[in-house]
A and B are shown apart, each in its own frame.
Chain A
Amino acid sequence: MTFLVTQLRRFRVPALWLGISLLLSGPVVAQSVAERIQLCQACHGQDGNSLIPNIPSLAGQPEFFLLNQLVLIREGVRPIAAMQEVVKGLKDADIQAIAAHFAGLPAKAGDEKTDPALVTQGAELAPGLECISCHKPDLTGQQQMPRLARQRLDYLIMALKSFRDGTRSGADPLMVGAVLGRSDAELIALAHYAASK
């Protein structure tokens, strides 16, 4: 919880910081899996479908994908500042339980609108990049490869650019190879196509 406080302090919101530090001043004890899941839901959505810009949906993701990413995030291979406190001290078995929970929830269409022209353009680009070879024809993902269908559009765009630009630590090397050298316009079209599925 000290993390949240530090974040608020960073952004110089003293009044809010004071309020929240009072809220969180209780002792932080080991949390149950159910409590951890509540923490996940705060950002990734009560039902695992995120309503917050740039925060991905977890609902309906392949279980192995969630397990794998949580391990990589826990160990700092894929460091995400906002996630550090949430995954701290998670045991492998906790991670398996959290992964199973979100994998079992239905993925729902989000509140963002996709652009039909960009969807068509993305659909034309996708075969050449072999998107469906890993993410499956319906883009629901499998094994270590995430579901793209019904993922948040803004998150997809952000993620694709970070793969291309090499700014995502712990990225899957095959994915980095797949989007190498692609323009922003191409990646945005691909994101619209994927989110629309």
Chain B
Amino acid sequence: MSARLSARALTAGVLAIAMSVAGMHAIAQAPTASQATPAVQPPTPATPAYMMPMLPDAKAMAARSNQSPTLSGIPTSPIATAIEKLPLEKMVLPPGFKVETFVSGVAGARMIYLGPKGTLFVSTSRLGRIYAVKDPFGKKEVMTIAQGLTLPNGIAMKDGALIVVANSKVFRYDAIEDTLDKPVQTDISEKFRLPGDQMHGWRYIAFGPDSKLYIAAGAYCNVCELNPGINGNIRRYDADGSNMEIVARGVRNTVGFDWHPATQELWFTDNGRDWAGNEGPEDELNRIAKGKDGAFYGFPYCHANGMPDPDIKRPDPCVGVTLPVALLGPHGAAIGLKFYTGSMFPAKYRNVAFIARHGSWNREIKFGYDIVTATIEGGKAKVEPFLSGLIDKEKNVGLVRPVAFLQLQDGSLLFSDELNGAIYRISYSDASLRK
């Protein structure tokens, strides 16, 4: 475009765009230079009464929390950290364990899934992309196979098809590993009837040992009363979206669950609410005991080990509530959860839950940004640090935000890092210990 032409084109651009704004619902009149066209606001969709949230008094809640009003959400960069700048050397692990970069350049990495033909799939949340890493053990070629999706956190595979749950949408990409250059998307959302709320609308999904698809549907608020048949639950479906059943209610938001390898019971993390103080309520590690499908886990009335909510009150708030097996710390944002079943790590790690603490924003002194283990015995869980060292204490910021795990065939463990857009591999060898 020449300079002379561009000046005239710019005028045209102004007119066209002003008109497109003004003309959403009416045919625009030809504008003149002096005419300022009033904007027509799109009509507000009427919200049915049953969908109106029951909200606490926000001002009272903020005052009561006693937390600094300067706390704010942590950004996810749409541009991945360069491989040489990843904070690998800061990571502290138990003796014998080693961590290395497995894949870099996957901005906003969330869930990871290894296809049967060897493609590594990586989801994102706000960034709206799905990546495929071709030849992840060799050339590691990163390609974006879908973009522009809404919060496409949830990925899983079934019969060669990639299933992506993006907020209220469910997409299937048949024979995905044979069609990476031109994936064919089928929208199978209708039967699932997932809520479309944005807050906590990034859904964790996984196929269970019963071949059902389990999907998290979090609360659409920090804390509020809601319809437990729609939000604040974990539900399961047949793969095509039929036969929905709720397996856990009163769940604020879980972004990680897995089935215990021995008992086949479902274990899940749940994040505590914000703006109720720096010390909690703590995040939870929960279990759905055999025969207790549909149990109520307390949100919004009762948190952590039986802490009544200071804002949303009801008589006997913790009666009938299934309390957590263990607490996972205040505002640590415990999300990813995976039971270790490999043989590379020492025997004491067998059937131990690895938990990714994404790291919080709603706490004055930052907490989490690490991986802990939960060793389960006799219905109880002992939580211990596993990978740490990733909070810059001086700047009070986390250097890594772990999200999800993937156990490889050799028993090593991958985890994703949303902050830097990278995936790391943790391996174990006792060779260094025998020296």
Chain A: residues with CB nearer than 8 A to chain B?
1, 4, 7-8, 10-13, 15-16, 20, 23-24, 26, 28-29, 31, 35, 38-39, 41-43, 52-55, 64, 67-68, 71-72, 75-77, 79, 81-82, 92, 96, 127-130, 132-134, 136-137, 142-145, 154, 158, 161, 165-167, 169-174, 176-177, 180-181, 184
Q: Are A43 and B13 in contact (CB under 8 A)?
A: yes
Question: Is B55 in contact with chain A by the CB < 8 A criterion?
Answer: yes
Q: Are B12 and A67 in contact (CB under 8 A)?
A: no
In the assembled complex, the Cα of A145 lies from the Cα of B42 at a distance in Å of 24
Q: Are A26 and B126 in contact (CB under 8 A)?
A: no
Question: Is B358 in contact with chain A by the CB < 8 A criterion?
Answer: no
In whole Å, how far is A54's beta carbon from the nearest beta carbon of chain B? 5
Give residues 188-205 of B contacting A (CB, 8 Å).
196-202
Q: Lowest 6 A-B CB distances belong to which pairs?
A: A76-B148, A128-B59, A77-B128, A128-B58, A71-B78, A144-B75
| A to B CB contacts below 8 Å, 13 in the list | A7-B20, A8-B16, A26-B5, A28-B1, A29-B1, A43-B17, A72-B126, A128-B61, A161-B41, A165-B45, A172-B73, A180-B53, A180-B221
Question: Is B301 in contact with chain A by the CB < 8 A criterion?
Answer: no
Closest to B148 in A: A76
Q: Are A170 and B21 in contact (CB under 8 A)?
A: no
Interface centre among B55, B150, B202 (most CB of A within 10 A): B150
Question: Is B222 in contact with chain A by the CB < 8 A criterion?
Answer: yes
In the complex, what residues of B have CB within 8 A of residue A145's CB? Answer: 72-73
Q: Are A8 and B39 in contact (CB under 8 A)?
A: no
With A12-B27, A52-B14 already in contact, the answer to whether A24 and B59 are too (CB < 8 A) is: no
* Chain B binding surface SS class: loop
Q: Are A15 and B30 in contact (CB under 8 A)?
A: yes
Question: Is B91 in contact with chain A by the CB < 8 A criterion?
Answer: no
In the complex, what residues of B have CB within 8 A of residue A169's CB? Answer: 150
In the assembled complex, the Cα of A15 lies from the Cα of B72 at a distance in Å of 51
Q: Are A75 and B6 in contact (CB under 8 A)?
A: no
Q: Are B78 and A68 in contact (CB under 8 A)?
A: yes
Interface size on B, residues (CB 8 A): 73
With A81-B20, A133-B70 already in contact, the answer to whether A166 and B42 are too (CB < 8 A) is: no
In whole Å, how far is B426's beta carbon from the nearest beta carbon of chain A? 30
Return the CB mask of B28-50 against A: 1 if under 8 Å, else 0: 10100000111101101101000
Q: Are A92 and B79 in contact (CB under 8 A)?
A: yes
In whole Å, how far is B328's beta carbon from the nearest beta carbon of chain A? 21
Q: Are B44 and A165 in contact (CB under 8 A)?
A: yes
In the assembled complex, the Cα of A39 lies from the Cα of B8 at a distance in Å of 11
In the complex, what residues of B have CB within 8 A of residue A75's CB? Answer: 127-129, 147-148
- Among candidates B1, B28, B41, B221, residue contacting A31 with C-beta atoms closer than 8 Å: B1
Question: Is B408 in contact with chain A by the CB < 8 A criterion?
Answer: no
Q: Are A23 and B5 in contact (CB under 8 A)?
A: yes
In the complex, what residues of B have CB within 8 A of residue A137's CB? Answer: 69-70
In the complex, what residues of A have CB within 8 A of residue B20's CB? Answer: 7, 10-11, 81-82
- Among candidates A38, A82, A136, A161, residue contacting B10 with C-beta atoms closer than 8 Å: A38
In the complex, what residues of A have CB within 8 A of residue B220's CB? Answer: 176-177, 180
- Among candidates B30, B148, B199, residue contacting A176 with C-beta atoms closer than 8 Å: B199
Q: Are A13 and B147 in contact (CB under 8 A)?
A: no
Question: Is B149 in contact with chain A by the CB < 8 A criterion?
Answer: yes
Number of residue pairs spanning A and B whose beta carbons lie under 8 angstroms apart: 191
Interface centre among B59, B68, B198 (most CB of A within 10 A): B198
Q: Are B197 and A68 in contact (CB under 8 A)?
A: no
In the assembled complex, the Cα of A174 lies from the Cα of B23 at a distance in Å of 31
- Among candidates B39, B42, B78, residue contacting A154 with C-beta atoms closer than 8 Å: B39
In the assembled complex, the Cα of A154 lies from the Cα of B126 at a distance in Å of 26
Q: Are A68 and B75 in contact (CB under 8 A)?
A: yes
In the assembled complex, the Cα of A96 lies from the Cα of B14 at a distance in Å of 24
Q: Are A38 and B150 in contact (CB under 8 A)?
A: no
In the complex, what residues of A have CB within 8 A of residue B78's CB? Answer: 67-68, 71-72, 92
In the complex, what residues of A have CB within 8 A of residue B41's CB? Answer: 158, 161
Q: Are B69 and A127 in contact (CB under 8 A)?
A: yes
Closest to A134 in B: B72
Question: Is B180 in contact with chain A by the CB < 8 A criterion?
Answer: no
Interface centre among A23, A54, A171 (most CB of B within 10 A): A54
Question: Is B71 in contact with chain A by the CB < 8 A criterion?
Answer: yes
With A4-B13, A7-B19, A42-B13 already in contact, the answer to whether A166 and B197 are too (CB < 8 A) is: yes
Question: Is B433 in contact with chain A by the CB < 8 A criterion?
Answer: no
Given contacts A42-B17, A165-B45, A170-B150, 18 further A-B contacts (CB under 8 A): A23-B5, A39-B13, A53-B21, A64-B75, A72-B126, A72-B128, A128-B58, A128-B59, A132-B70, A133-B72, A144-B73, A169-B150, A170-B126, A171-B198, A172-B73, A173-B126, A176-B220, A181-B53
Interface centre among A1, A68, A167, A184 (most CB of B within 10 A): A68
